[in-house]
Amino acid sequence: MLLLLWMNTVSNKMDDCSKRSPILILLLGFFMSILFLFATIQTLIASECYHYHTSKSYQIIVKNNGVYYQFTERDPNGFSYARQVIIPIKGIDKESYKSIGEDEGTLMFSDKNGFYMLSKREPSDDKEVIYSKVLGPNINQKHINGRLYFIDGKWVYMDGWGNNITKVELTELPRNLVNVKCYSYSMYVKNENKVFVVSIDLNSDKKYTWSEIPHLNPENLIYYSCNQLKNEDYIADENHMFCIRKEGSFADVTPQLMALGVKNYNSLKLINADIPMWQKERYILKKRDGASVSSKDPLTGKDIDVEYSYSGFKPLIPAYGNINYTLYANKIYPIWDDNFSQAYTVKTDAAKLKAIQDKLLQGSDFYYFEDANNFKIISTNISADAKFFPEVYSYNSYLPKALVDENYIYFIADQFKTHLDNKKRLTSQIVKQLGTFYLFNNSLFDGKKSYPIIADYASISYLGSYVEVLNACSGDMPNSEQVSVKYHHFFKDKNKVFYFDEQKEHLQIIQTADPRDYIYDDYLGMKTLYKIKDLRGRMSISSSPQVNYYWFGGIATVLLGVIAYVLKKRS
């Protein structure tokens, strides 16, 4: 904006000088073009931002004193808070509150006084939340997901922000509709005979379009919910399957599945929503990973691209994380190898291996993919009885997965090699994973360094953590400030509460905090602990209230003084 104002000023100066110096005009014009190009390039340069990697959730919660909107943002590790805001929703009756719908952009709810919409977004004001009342009270009001309302014999689409309520009358829709899947601007619905998609376009003259999704039997319809980030869900009956998207489009994938020999599409079990994967008896139907094969449409004989695979492989479903490997003909393959062209070399019975996390497998002992040869699975020589701890990825740190037996803790990081020293000898049998730390040998270990603790070793537990974002974004320029975040961790044992600052690398006793007052994953509780962490004092822990003899002694001294003073005055 400042650049545009400056350019406008320079343009005015150029008009004043236009009759004096044509060369000056050319130089100024060239200079302005360079600046404009530089500004454009700067906006196109991809920047790194901490909030690109966080997860966000939006919900309405009911407390004893009212109804609240809660926005929560968490670190990539899944448990550290980046932010949480809880704002009262004023004017909503707590006793009659009811959630009636939700889509990717809006929360819909009602109470005895009417029907409402609240937009999902990061709150800019921590004191007030803006919502819309779209209809008055009606206990028998028929609606679909709080988006479509049946009013005066016709369906009406509702959208709202504050006092601005948008209504679109869908006069052509059948009366007896029920929900299949509802997005902000498209709705998949059905009646007893057909399945429809309704698309809302507030910028067009007609405002909406609707059409039938052909062939589907609404009575036997099933909905498959996949990864929301990929915008690819499925609906199917026994004979047809369609891929659907949130903008209201749909594609018939039935010919592709028929070419593979798949039947009865509504009896499949979805077992992986990231890369759509269904199981039917001992066969697996899978969306190919970025590739397709050529085949023929059984109905028309025409050549078609098939984006799915169907075979009798067994997915190795891990205890933690995503499915990465499959078992076929007693050999292990990467999940993307739909043609089984590259098998991993493994010197054991592959059928007896279980997936644990990423490259770690469990059989007669633990096995791992050797980094020097990614298609070779080697034994770690660690007993299968060892206890496993999953890895933790935070924004600026990594806690490797670990195995623990009676004598050692083994760190199975991304660069794990059997000939390297990836272990530490244990001097205590107690090993815990506490947030982004391992507790062993009376120390906290963050994957790189160990920090001796002053807490009770047996009873110490993790209360949680939150992130202080020092610099949220950085550009790609060499002199741009880098993203910077700071983690605040909290622990407690049977007697005390502790604060660990990653930068100071010190476990500090919070002297005025009682461990009985704090529970795990309480954002407000951790914020309170941070405020009082440096206060001096002493918290006495006991099973019953203690008599304060100093208090009684003080009162007695004062009373004796008053009595002595009165007696003296009388004498």
pLDDT single digits (tens) 38-81: 343 343 345 799 999 999 999 999 999 999 999 999 999 999 99
Alpha-carbon dihedral 190, 191, 196, 198, rounded to 10 degrees = -80
Q: What rounded mean pLDDT belongs to the chain?
A: 87
Rounded to the nearest angstrom, the gap between the alpha carbon of residue 465 and the centroid of all alpha carbons in its chain is 16
pLDDT band at 370; cut points 50, 70, 90: confident
- The answer to whether residues 28 and 10 touch, using CB atoms and an 8 Å cutoff, is yes
- The pLDDT of 203-217, averaged and rounded, is 94
Can you tell me the distance from the alpha carbon of 79 to that of 65, in angstroms, rounded to the nearest whole number? 27
Report whether pLDDT(551) > 70.
Answer: no
Over 90: is that where the pLDDT of 541 sits?
A: no
Q: Lowest mean pLDDT of 130-144, 294-308, 551-565, name the range.
A: 551-565
**What is the CB neighbour count within 10 angstroms for residue 214?**
11
pLDDT, position 420: 67
Q: What is the pLDDT of residue 289?
A: 86
The CA-atom distances, in angstroms, between 458 and each of 59, 447, 465, 514 are 37, 21, 21, 18
Q: Tell me the three state secondary structure of residue 557.
A: helix
- Among the ranges given (129-133, 227-231, 264-268), the one the predictor scored with the smallest mean pLDDT: 227-231
DSSP-assigned beta bridge partners for residue 399: 392
- Give the mean pLDDT of 413-424: 74
Cα–Cα distances in angstroms (integers) from residue 429 to residues 1, 409, 418, in the given order: 63, 10, 24
Q: Which of 112-121, 233-242, 325-334, 371-380 has the lowest mean pLDDT?
A: 371-380
pLDDT at 44: 37
- Do 482 and 509 touch, CB atoms closer than 8 A? no
Q: Choose between 228 and 104: higher pLDDT.
A: 104
Among 404, 364, 357, 409, smallest CA distance to 384 is for: 364
As a whole-number percent, the residues of the chain with pLDDT over 90 amount to 74
Q: Are 275 and 289 in contact (CB under 8 A)?
A: yes
pLDDT-derived band at 564, boundaries 50, 70, 90: low
Q: What are phi and psi of 433, to 5 degrees?
A: -105, 115
Per-residue pLDDT reduced to its tens digit, 306-352: 999 999 999 999 999 999 999 999 999 999 999 999 999 999 999 99
> Angle CA(515)–CA(518)–CA(521) in degrees, nearest 5?
135
Q: 155-173, pLDDT tens digit by residue?
A: 999 999 989 999 999 999 9
How does residue 520 score in pLDDT terms, banded at 50, 70 and 90? very high
Q: What is the pLDDT of residues 273-309, one digit of tens each?
A: 999 999 999 999 999 988 899 999 998 999 999 999 9
Residue 543 has pLDDT above 50, yes or no: no
Q: What are the helix (H) ranges across 475-548?
A: 523-532
pLDDT, residue 2, reads 40
For residue 283, what pLDDT is reported? Answer: 96
Q: Of 97-101, 154-158, 370-374, 377-381, give the lowest mean pLDDT range.
A: 370-374
Give the mean pLDDT of 450-468: 96
Give the separation between CA 351 and CA 227, rounded to whole angstroms.
Answer: 29
Burial class (CB in 10 A: 0-12, 13-18, 19+), 258: buried
pLDDT of amino acid 569: 62
